[in-house]
């Protein structure tokens, strides 16, 4: 028996076993990482939220939605932002942020976080009743006019006529919220205007 050749063969086998063990370890690590990624993908569910009630027909194109859809979305966004209490503002804030464009997400979140802290600190609630919706298809925006009632500790403090412009962007098959801002309420709601006209006539 040639012990020299035997030792050489054993050394070669040991070296080959080490290489195979290393490769098996790398493959096992890759399989583990792949399993983690697959589990994360399976566990992730993307939810596209739509207004709870769609009561008008509407149309969409590659870059625009119809006035009817703008009206319903504008009313829905106003409800999420303005019709809030200490117990509802957190989940409404989270729902609102699912619509916000990525470049405005941080600003919206900061603003809503501050509003949440304020409402909870003074135990306040606001209630918004839309009275007029004026959509503009060209700019994909809608002006929402209505009355905003504020309560602190369950007691009414103010009730004011307010107007807000809601700016949307339609992309990727869904509507994104770009801005929500208060504007000058230079036009009265139809019911109030009718009442004023009746008073002047009398």
The answer to whether 101 and 169 are in contact (CB under 8 A) is yes
* pLDDT 10s digits, 140-176: 999 999 999 999 998 999 999 999 999 998 877 778 9
Strands, sheet with 141-152, edge to edge from the N-terminal-most edge strand: 124-136, 141-152, 155-171, 174-183
The answer to whether 140 and 169 are in contact (CB under 8 A) is yes
* Phi, psi (degrees; rounded to nearest 5) at 33: -65, -40
The domain ranges of the chain are: 1-45, 67-201
Which pTM was predicted?
0.64
Radius of gyration from C-alpha coordinates of the chain: 30
* Phi, psi (degrees; rounded to nearest 5) at 52: -60, -25
| Structural tokens at position 200 | 């002047």
* pLDDT 10s digits, 103-132: 999 999 999 999 999 999 999 999 999 999
Would you say residue 3 has pLDDT above 90? Answer: no
Q: Residue 191 — very low, low, confident or very high, per pLDDT cuts 50/70/90?
A: very low
- The class of domain 67-201 in CATH terms is alpha beta
Cα 196 from chain centre: 39
Three-class SS state of 147 = strand
Would you say residue 30 has pLDDT above 80? Answer: no
Instruction: Give the span between the Cα atoms of 71 and 74, in whole angstroms.
Output: 5
């Amino acid at each position: 028996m040639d012990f020299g050749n035997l030792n050489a063969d054993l050394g070669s086998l040991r070296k080959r076993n080490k290489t195979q063990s290393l490769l098996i370890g790398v493959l096992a690590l890759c399989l583990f990482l792949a399993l983690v990624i697959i589990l994360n993908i399976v566990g992730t569910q993307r939810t596209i939220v739509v207004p709870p009630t769609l009561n008008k027909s509407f149309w969409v194109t590659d870059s625009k939605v119809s006035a009817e859809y703008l009206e319903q979305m504008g009313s829905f966004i106003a409800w999420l932002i303005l019709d809030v209490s200490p117990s509802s503002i957190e989940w409404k804030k989270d729902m609102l942020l699912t619509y916000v464009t990525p470049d405005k997400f941080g600003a919206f979140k900061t603003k809503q976080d501050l509003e949440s802290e304020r409402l909870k600190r003074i135990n306040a609630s606001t209630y918004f009743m839309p009275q007029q919706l004026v959509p503009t298809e060209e700019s994909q925006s809608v002006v929402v006019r209505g009355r905003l009632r504020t309560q602190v500790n369950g007691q009414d403090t103010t009730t004011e006529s307010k107007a807000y412009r809601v700016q949307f962007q339609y992309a990727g098959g869904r509507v994104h919220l770009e801005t929500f801002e208060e504007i000058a309420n230079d036009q009265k709601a139809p019911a109030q205007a009718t009442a004023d006209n009746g008073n002047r006539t009398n």
